[in-house]
Chains A and B, each alone.
Chain A
Amino acid sequence: MYRSRRSRLIGLAYLAPALLFVLAFTAWPLAQMIWMSFHNWSLITPPRWVGMANYQRAFADDQFWVSFAFTLEYTAIITPLLIVGGYLLALLTSPSSPSRRLTRTMVFIPVVIGLGVSSLLWYWLFSTDFGLVNRALMDLGLISKPVLWLGVDADRSNLAIIASVTWKVIGFGMILFVGAIQAIPTEITEASLVDGASYWQRVRRVVLPLTLRTVLLVTLVSVIGSLLAFDQFYIMTAGQPQNETATSVFYVYLNSFPYLRLGYGAALSVILALTILVFTVVQLLLTRRSHA
C-alpha cells in the first residue's frame, strides 16, 4: 500500500526507536560479550587478552560437555512431552463447550505465574521431609520412605524438574494448538465426517497436517527455551549433584558470577548461541520445505 520513497522513510521512522533500542541495549552488550570471550577477566583485575584460549578450553573442559549433554538430555525428554501432551490437551479442549473452555483456562493458569515462583513451589513439593509429593506417595502406599528427589541423583532430579516445568508450560503449547485446530475451515471437518472416518483417523489425516506449521513452530520455541533453561535448575538443584544437573546456561552463570571468570563465561555463551542459531536455521528450513 505504501510504495513511495517517502513512505520508506516514514517506515524507518517507525522502526527507529526499536532499532536504536536493540542496537544500544542488545547488540552493544552482545558485542562486548564477544570481546570478553577473547579475554581473561575477573572484574577485580584488569582484562587480559588470550585470543582463542577460552574456546579451546571449553572444548577440553569436562564440565562443558557434561552440561551440554545434560541440556540435550533434558530437551530430548521434555520436548515430546510438551508437544504431544499439549496437542492431546488441545484436541480435548478445542470444542467450544463450557467445560472444555474451563479446562483450557485451568491448564493455562500455571503458564502465567513465573518460572522462578513455579520452581520454588515445586522445590517445596519435592522436598524430602517437608514436601507434599513424598507425603502423598507414602499415604497412597506407593513408597515406604521419603524419596530424595532433588540434588542427590541426576536422573531423578531431572525427572522431578521436568515434571514441574511440564506442569507449568504445557498450557502454552496447548493454546497455540487450539488456535490452529479451530482455524481449520469447518467444511473440511464436515467433509471428513461424511467420509465416516473415526476420530483418530480424522486427527491423523486431516487435523494434524493442517496444523503442522504450528506444531513445528511450537517445537522450535520449546527446544530453544529448553536449551537455554536456567531458572528451574538454579532454584531446584543448584546444579547438584556435583554439577551433573548444571545446564549449559547454568554453567555460563557459574563462570560469570561466583567464579568470576567472565571471559570464559562469555565464550561459553557464544558457543551456545551459535549452536542454537544452527539448530534454528535447520528447523526453519525444514518448516519451509514442509510447505513447498
Chain B
Amino acid sequence: MRSRPRWPILVAAAALLLAACSQGTDTPSTTAQAPAATTSCASNGELTMWERSGGNKQMVDMLVAAWNAKNPNCKIKLTYIPHTEMVGKIAQGIASGEVPDLMGMDLIYAPQFEDAQQLVDLTDRISAWPELKTASKGHMTVATFENRLYGVPLYADVSALFYNKDLFKRAGLDPDKPPTSLPELREYADKITALGGDLKGYYLPGNCAGCNIFTVGPLMWASGAKIEAAGPGDEPLVGDGVKQVLQFTRDMVKAGNVHEGDRTENGETFHLQFGSGKVGMMGTGNFNITLARQQNPKMDFGIALLPGMAPNSAASFIGGDLVVVPKGSKRVDDAVNFMKFLLSDEVQVEVYAKALNLTTRTDMVDNKYFRKEPLVQDVAKALDVGRTPYTLTFFEQINSPQGPWLKMLQRAYYSDDNLDTVIADAKAAMKTIANQ
C-alpha cells in the first residue's frame, strides 16, 4: 500500500471538507477538479460485494443503491451469503483466491480474520480521515488489530431496553420512569405480569446465542463483569456481575415473568416479540423501533438503557457490520472510496438517518430526521455506553448455538443447577476454545 500515491486520497479528503462546509446539495458539476469527492470510481467495472444475510438488509440495499446511483460506472453487485455459512465461505474464498472486491462482515468476526492476516491493511489509506474520530467506537475497536486498521462501519445496531408505556400505565407505573437497575426491573416486571391475561413483564430468548449476547450481555457489562476471553490465556466470565445477572434471569423465569414460548426463540421471531404488545419490557435493538410501529401502530413505547445491578448503571452492545477488504481483492481503491462514501455527511444523513437507522458517526446523531423522532435519539444514547466484544473466537465461544455461552444461559434460565458450577463449566469451555 505504501507504493500507492496518496494524492487522490488527499484531494478527495479536501473536497469532502469543502463539500461539508458548504451546505449545498450535491451537484455533479460543482468542481471538475474533485469529481464527486465522496463517491468516485477509481477504475471502471463492476464491483463484487458479499454481505451476510440476516442482518440489516434494507439498510445495506439502500447504501448500495445510493452508491450505484452516483457511480454507474463502477456499480456494486451485491450477493447475500447465508449468515451461518459466512465464516466458512470467506475462508474458502481466501484459500482459493476467489474473493469479492469488498465485503460486509459481522463486526464480531473481524478480529479473527485480522489475526489470520486475511484482510487488507488500510491504515495508511484511512487513518487520517477525520470522520473516523467520531465513528462508532465499537466498530473501530474490532476493526483494529495490533494498531492497524482494517475497515469502517457499514451499519450499526445497538441494544437497549424497550418498554411498553401502555402496560406501564395499566400496572400503575410511571410511563416516563423506566427502571434504572435490575432489581427495579424485576419489581416492574412483577407488576406487569400481575395484570394477567397473556401479558408478561419481560422477555428472555431461550435458544438464541446472538440475541442473548446482544441483550443480556450488556446487563453483565453494566454490572461490572467481563464476558469473553480475548485470546489465548485470557480469562472469561470475570466479576460478580455474571452470577448476579444469571440469578436475576433465573428468578425472572421462576417468577413467571416470561412467556413459556420464549424458550424456543432461536432468533427467527425475536424481532416480532416486542411489537406483539404482550411484553412489558424487553432488551432488543434499534431496528425494533420501525418494526414495532409497523406491527402495532397504536402501541406507545419508550426506550431506556439496559441497566446493571447498581442503580443508574448502563451498557449496550454495539453490533452491526463492517466493510472490509479481503486479501486478494483487485479493487482496493474502489473499496476505500466506498468507505469514504459511507462516512460522508450526506450519506450519514440522507441514507442512514432518513431511514431511521443509526448513523455510524456519533457526531451526526443530531440531524433533522432524528429530531423528529425522539425514540431514535434515545436509542442513539446507547452508543455512548456501548461496547463490542473483542475476541478471536467469537463464534465458538459465544455466537454458536452449540457453544458454552448459550449453554450457560440455558442452564441458568431453565434448570436448578448450581450457578457457580454453571459459570465454572462455561469458563472452562470458553478458555479451551480461546486457547486453541
A adjacent to B, CB under 8 Å = yes
Binds A, one of B171-179, B295-303, B364-372, B400-408: B400-408
- Whether B207 contacts A151 by the Cβ 8 Å rule is yes
> Which residue of B is nearest A41, CB measured?
B95
Q: Tell me the complex Cα distance, A275–B395, Å.
A: 31
Q: Tell me the complex Cα distance, A43–B118, Å.
A: 11
Given contacts A148-B263, A152-B206, A242-B402, contact A43 B91 (CB under 8 A): yes
The yes or no answer to A214 lying at the interface (CB within 8 A) is no
Interface string of B128-149 (1 = CB under 8 A from A): 0000000000000000000000
Measured between beta carbons, the chain A residues less than 8 angstroms from B23 are none
Q: Tell me the complex Cα distance, A242–B209, Å.
A: 11
The yes or no answer to A72 lying at the interface (CB within 8 A) is no
The yes or no answer to B396 lying at the interface (CB within 8 A) is yes
- Whether B400 contacts A240 by the Cβ 8 Å rule is no
Given contacts A151-B207, A151-B266, A260-B91, contact A146 B395 (CB under 8 A): no
Given contacts A43-B95, A44-B94, contact A148 B400 (CB under 8 A): no
| Distance between B131 CB and nearest chain A CB, rounded to angstroms | 30
| Distance between A115 CB and nearest chain B CB, rounded to angstroms | 18
Binds A, one of B67-75, B82-90, B335-343, B352-360: B82-90
The yes or no answer to B410 lying at the interface (CB within 8 A) is yes
- Whether A240 contacts B266 by the Cβ 8 Å rule is yes
| Distance between A12 CB and nearest chain B CB, rounded to angstroms | 35
- Whether B401 contacts A240 by the Cβ 8 Å rule is yes
Residue from the list B84, B116, B406, B410 in contact with A44, Cβ < 8 A: B116
Residue from the list B261, B402, B407, B410 in contact with A239, Cβ < 8 A: B402
Interface string of B90-123 (1 = CB under 8 A from A): 0110110000000000000000010010100000
Given contacts A145-B260, A152-B207, A239-B401, contact A257 B116 (CB under 8 A): no
Measured between beta carbons, the chain A residues less than 8 angstroms from B207 are 151-152, 240-241
> Which residue of A is nearest B269, CB measured?
A129
Measured between beta carbons, the chain B residues less than 8 angstroms from A241 are 207, 410
A-side interface size class: 20 to 34
The yes or no answer to B312 lying at the interface (CB within 8 A) is no
Given contacts A242-B402, A258-B84, A259-B396, contact A151 B264 (CB under 8 A): yes
- Whether A258 contacts B264 by the Cβ 8 Å rule is no
Is the contact region of chain A dominated by helix, strand, or loop, or is it mixed? loop
Q: Tell me the complex Cα distance, A238–B83, Å.
A: 14
The yes or no answer to A56 lying at the interface (CB within 8 A) is no
Measured between beta carbons, the chain B residues less than 8 angstroms from A254 are 402
The yes or no answer to A150 lying at the interface (CB within 8 A) is yes
Interface residues of B in 236-294 (CB under 8 A from A): 260-261, 263-264, 266, 269
The yes or no answer to A166 lying at the interface (CB within 8 A) is no
- Whether A243 contacts B402 by the Cβ 8 Å rule is yes
The yes or no answer to A246 lying at the interface (CB within 8 A) is yes
> Which residue of A is nearest B113, CB measured?
A44
Given contacts A146-B261, A242-B410, contact A257 B118 (CB under 8 A): no
- Whether B402 contacts A43 by the Cβ 8 Å rule is no
| Distance between B261 CB and nearest chain A CB, rounded to angstroms | 6
- Whether A128 contacts B407 by the Cβ 8 Å rule is no
The yes or no answer to A97 lying at the interface (CB within 8 A) is no
- Whether A129 contacts B400 by the Cβ 8 Å rule is no
Interface residues of A in 136-175 (CB under 8 A from B): 145-146, 148, 150-152
The yes or no answer to A287 lying at the interface (CB within 8 A) is no
Q: Tell me the complex Cα distance, A45–B392, Å.
A: 14
B-side interface residues toward A, CB under 8 Å?
84-85, 87-88, 91-92, 94-95, 113, 116, 118, 206-207, 260-261, 263-264, 266, 269, 395-396, 400-402, 406-407, 410
A-B residue pairs in contact (CB < 8 Å), sample of 7: A63-B402, A128-B264, A238-B401, A242-B406, A258-B88, A259-B396, A260-B87
A43-B92, A43-B95, A44-B113 known; 6 new pairs, CB 8 Å cut-off, are A44-B94, A129-B269, A239-B402, A243-B402, A258-B85, A258-B395
Identify the 7 closest CB pairs spanning chains A and B, nearest first.
A257-B88, A43-B91, A243-B402, A44-B116, A43-B95, A148-B264, A44-B118
